[in-house]
Amino acid sequence: SNLNINDVLGNYSLTLVDALDTLAIMGNSSEFQKAVKLVINTVSFDKDSTVQVFEATIRVLGSLLSAHRIITDSKQPFGDMTIKDYDNELLHMAHDLAVRLLPAFENTKTGIPYPRVNLKTGVPPDSNNETCTAGAGSLLVEFGMLSRLLGDSTFEWVARRAVKALWSLRSSGTGLLGNVVNIQTGHWVGKQSGLGAGLDSFYEYLLKSYILFGEKEDLDMFNAAYHSIQSYLRRGREACNEGEGDPPLYVNVDMFSGRLMNTWMDSLQAFFPGLQVLIGDVEDAICLHAFYYAIWKRYGALPERYNWQLQAPDVFFYPLRPELVESTYLLYQATKNPFYLHVGMDILQSLEKYTKVKCGYATLHHVIDKSKEDRMESFFLSETCKYLYLLFDEENPVHKSGTRYMFTTEGHVVSVDRHLREAPWKEFFPDERGHAAGSSLRRPAAPDLKVINSSSNCNRVPDERRYSLPLKSVYMRQIDQMVGLI
């Protein structure tokens, strides 16, 4: 009866595992080393637990791989995070977990995985054939990393096949995908297309897979998806900081007709400005971020769903989600406008005021009466705290180092390096169609990261605007009015 409770826990010390690289980013080597040893010595996946494939992948597999790479990094930018006698244990654990997740990709007619597996026995006999697009189609970063670290194509292949299967089911008219699909028939059960729950990380991972692995096909899919998003989901005036009309908003539409399906936006969608920063669409990011910040100011938190027509929440809980902080951090990196430091302060102060409890931070059950639940999601430590910390830590190695870092959808830091752009199995399967070595999946000769990661994109906000509001005050007021703040 509580929509906020889902079965992600797995009985495998989720919070401890999910928080590992946060300790490294905070430069706390003794706690990092202690936590890694605890994980190695006490966590086992040989459990009769049924887990969500997506959650286990992004929270556990992703964290193990990130920590493994921090430990084995010859440069040790975060301080001494090495572990005495480390024998790739975290990588082996990641492998063990991934193998236990593989049954989800078997006996599915489309290649789109089952949403849940039992870590001991595989897909439960009474399994649901329906899955959400984000859950099934955002496994490629972690599975691809694992494959490339092990030199075993299996994991990347199943994850890539799932992305391609979903992609092939997009509407031929709008290019949009729905939010729930039947993995046997390929029929869309949920025809809602939007940027929030059910689809969010699908888009994110098309771009991030390209950043990490340099496969041009991922960028092509991302660009096509972004084009459809701009054509069918975006409403309001054309430019964020110019002209007349409503502020730009991204709405939920029917994937086939493009018609509006409802008038709510969910708090998950607040990640999107951060993704727009990565592709250099900073101006548009500023507007959507400002809208979410206005909602935050009104409630001191983000309600899970906010109805922009009724100017009121539709769903009231706030489980300490990171998305607004994540976008704030990335917008600050792109613009260096101190406005975003103030946003961060504001968020930090409300977290302290409304969610802090004796042994941690609590989910808000209701953003208006501020009642709490006895629950702190693991992403609070892996994402919300990490992004807040990084926002204020100008000197952090993530910002200073020559290595370029990227964050997984769960906020795990991974360095973007040449090693992950090598897929050794390609030598053995140079032409196999549909396999990771298939012709359409081949890497471009010289991966052109400039498209995404160049400083010129980040400099698009002119210097003279750096110390003024990122959004003209007239537009800020317009948003504040729409959210009922004034």
**Annotated binding-site positions for Ca(2+):** 409
Give the nearest distance from C-beta 137 to ligand DMJ in angstroms: 12
**String of contacts with ligand DMJ for each residue 56-95, x by CB under 6 A:** --x-------------------------------------
Please report the sign of the dihedral spanned by the C-alpha atoms of residue 228, residue 234, residue 235, residue 238. Answer: negative
Mark the segment that binds ligand DMJ (CB under 6 A) among 124-132, 145-153, 167-175, 320-328.
320-328
Sign of CA dihedral 176, 179, 185, 186: positive
Cα 202 to Cα 335: distance, rounded to the nearest angstrom: 26
**What is the smallest separation between the CB atom of 13 and ligand DMJ, expressed in angstroms?**
17
Copy the structure tokens of residue 386: 């990490």
Between CA 219 and CA 225 the distance in angstroms is: 10
Q: Can residue 321 be called a binding residue for ligand DMJ (CB under 6 A)?
A: yes
Task: Encode 29-62: b = buried (16+ Cβ within 10 Å), e = exposed.
Answer: beebbebbeebeeebebeeebbbbbbbbbbbbbb
How far apart are alpha carbons 472 and 478 in whole angstroms? 10
Member of 111, 113, 214, 322 binding ligand DMJ (CB under 6 A): 322
**Residues 162, 112: contact at Cβ < 8 Å?**
yes
Q: Does 153 bind ligand DMJ (CB under 6 A)?
A: no
Eight-class DSSP state of 367: T
Number of H helices, E strands in the chain: 21, 18
- The reply on whether position 21 binds ligand DMJ by CB under 6 A is no
CB atoms within 10 A of CB 468: 11
Q: Which strand (E) or helix (H) includes residue 188?
A: strand 188-190
346-385 residues near ligand DMJ, rule: CB under 6 A: 379, 383
Nearer to ligand DMJ, 43 or 58 (CB): 58
Task: For residues 22 and 59, give the distance between their C-alpha atoms in angstroms, rounded to a whole number.
Answer: 13
E-assigned strand segments in 365-463: 372-373, 404-407, 413-416
Tokens for 63?
């964290």
Kindly state the number of chain residues that form the binding site for ligand DMJ, as judged by CB under 6 A. 11
CB of 138 to ligand DMJ, least distance (A): 7
The yes or no reply on residue 170 touching ligand DMJ (CB under 6 A) is no
Which residue, 59 or 475, is less far from ligand DMJ as judged by CB? 59
Please pick, from the candidates 63, 110, 193, 201, the single residue that binds ligand DMJ as defined by CB under 6 A: 201
Of 60 and 471, nearer to ligand DMJ (C-beta) is 60
194 or 247: CB nearest ligand DMJ: 194
Nearer to ligand DMJ, 91 or 325 (CB): 325
Range in contact with ligand DMJ (rule: CB under 6 A) among 118-126, 184-192, 321-329, 392-400: 321-329
Catalytic residue ranges: 55, 200, 304, 323
Report the site for ligand DMJ in 250-269 (rule: CB under 6 A). 268
What's the CA gap between 53 and 297, in Å, rounded? 35
Q: Which positions from 407 to 426 touch ligand DMJ by CB under 6 A, shown as an x/- string?
A: --xx----------------
Q: Which is nearer to ligand DMJ, 281 or 383 (by Cβ)? A: 383
- Which residues of this chain interact with ligand DMJ, rule CB under 6 A? 58, 200-201, 268, 321-323, 379, 383, 409-410
